[in-house]
Structure 1
Amino acid sequence: MNDTGAIRTGVLLAAGHGSRLRGSAPYKPLCPVGGRPLIDHALCGMAEAGLTRAVVVLGYGAEAIADHLASRDWPLTVDTVMTRDHREPNGVSVLAAAPALRGEEAVLAMCDHLVSPSLYARLAATGARGGTTLGIDRRLGHPWVDPDDVTWVRTQGDAIVEIGKLAAGGMADADAYDTGVFAIGPALFDALASLPAPSLTDGMRLLAADARAFTVDCSDLDWIDVDDAAALAKAEDWMLARAA
């Protein structure tokens, strides 16, 4: 972090296939919501939150997305890196950003998560705390959240005890949702690098076992994972409500 104590760099994962949104856009980061592509919402939201640089991790559709990024003037510096293989788990894409950070902490977010800029700001202010901090939402049953698709979290105080999908079992006593926004640092990269084909959840489990996976409550802030047509419709409604 810088001398003010707040993170100023974001990492945005934009490497995946996005097959469930293929009917709305050939590449998920370019899928329009409220008249703007998802990646535009994310980058402008990071800038509004006070971030001054974003490292965008590309993979599937990299050329088209890179062209889009190059065609616009952004309110923050935008750098791009390539994942080694977009077919591998998302932890591989996270690792691709490590050299660009040079050991600094960053706010990690998913390109397909439409979130209030205040969520980025809260994670930037909280920091990784020597491990990784995850923004969580305790509003279980929220109509914007697909319980079968979201990552669930079980907490003890502000620590993560367990994290995973319901389908994987063992999450019956989960008490929060994973919002997809993190404050990360070297500890997460070390955890991911120790695994052959890591997912972000795998890395968080390793940190949780070492008591270095933390949470910050973001239940008062809006977010939605735009990963299919139903979620896209809900996101459009949200944009209309905000505009009104």
Structure 2
Amino acid sequence: MIGLVLAAGAGRRLRPYTDTLPKALVPIDAETSVLDLTLANFAEVGLTDVAIVVGYAAQAIADRRKDMESRYGVTLELVHNDKAEEWNNAYSLWCARDLFGQGMVLANGDTVHPVSVEHTLLEARGGDQQIILALDTVKSLADEEMKVIWSEANGVERITKLMEPAEATGEYIGLTLIEPSAAEDLADALKTTWERDPNLYYEDGYQELANRGRRIDVAPIGKVDWVEIDNHEDLARAREIVCPS
């Protein structure tokens, strides 16, 4: 099993940092970005082979590759997304389809989270589960969150931002465990999704899988501090989490 980070996005709401850096490299402190934190988490749980999907400002990640490999004891493979500045991340994840067969923990390149989330996903493995989403069932939800409805009988029934918060089981936080057995079906669902509309999210690919009758499970992460960094307010919150005063 490998780690996979989606780090192709431009993150325009985080300018001026992202004038020259991809969102995953926006500094949280002098030496730490979201990508650094994610690689450290992966290494701690034994995921030392890591692929990074790059696109916007890809050279900035390539330039730090050897240093990050040395610092975290990982081996990095860069997967290039040729549509990163035009299309959404359903296509970005599909670009890594040749790696799905190894099994992976997928992490969004803009999610600051503790290593307990990786532990939770890995400990949830077993039985016939093929895809497991890290789910925050504690946080109060609003309109922008990626919300999930899950049932014991059917697994994930809906995953979308376009849902009344009160209907949701919880929020998908941007980390997924993908077993090798899911590789072919997931790649096909993602392809169908971005071909239908290249502006769709990879979570829409998960919905496509659910619509086809494929079960997707969840692993509640408990009460933890995490944040998805979309703007400068989120970045300030990430800095509070990583560098508490």
* TM-score, normalized by the shorter chain, greater than 0.5: yes
CA shift digits 1:166-186 (9 cap, x unpaired): xx3465411201110001241
Identity of aligned residues (%): 28
Richer in helix (by share):
2
107-116 or 122-131, larger mean C-alpha shift: 122-131
State the alpha-carbon separation in 1 of the partners of residues 177 and 225 from structure 2.
Answer: 18
Inter-CA distance 68–56: structure 2 relative to 1 (3 Å threshold): same
CA contact (8 A) 2:11 2:18 kept: no
Shift, 1:126, TM fit: 2.8
Aligned to 2:46: 50
CA contact (8 A) 1:140 1:175 kept: no
Aligned to 1:229: 232
Shift, 1:203, TM fit: 1.0
- Per the normalisation by structure 1, the TM-score is 0.85
Q: Does 1:132 align with 2:135?
A: no
State the alpha-carbon separation in 2 of the partners of residues 160 and 21 from structure 1.
Answer: 32
Coordinate RMSD, CA, aligned: 2.1
State the one-letter code of the partner of 2:96: A
> Which one of the candidate residues 9, 13, 19 is aligned to 1:20?
13
CA shift digits 1:208-237 (9 cap, x unpaired): 221411111112333210111111111111
CA contact (8 A) 2:143 2:165 kept: no
CA contact (8 A) 2:143 2:164 kept: no
- Per the normalisation by structure 2, the TM-score is 0.85
Which ranges of structure 1 fall in alignment gaps of 5 or more residues? Answer: 1-7
Which ranges of structure 2 fall in alignment gaps of 5 or more residues? Answer: none
Give the paired residue count: 228
CA shift digits 1:156-213 (9 cap, x unpaired): 1382111111xx3465411201110001241322211233135212111122221411
CA contact (8 A) 1:131 1:207 kept: no
Aligned to 1:203: 205
Q: Does 1:32 align with 2:31?
A: no
187-196 or 56-65, larger mean C-alpha shift: 187-196
Q: Which runs of 4+ in 1 moved over 6 A?
A: none
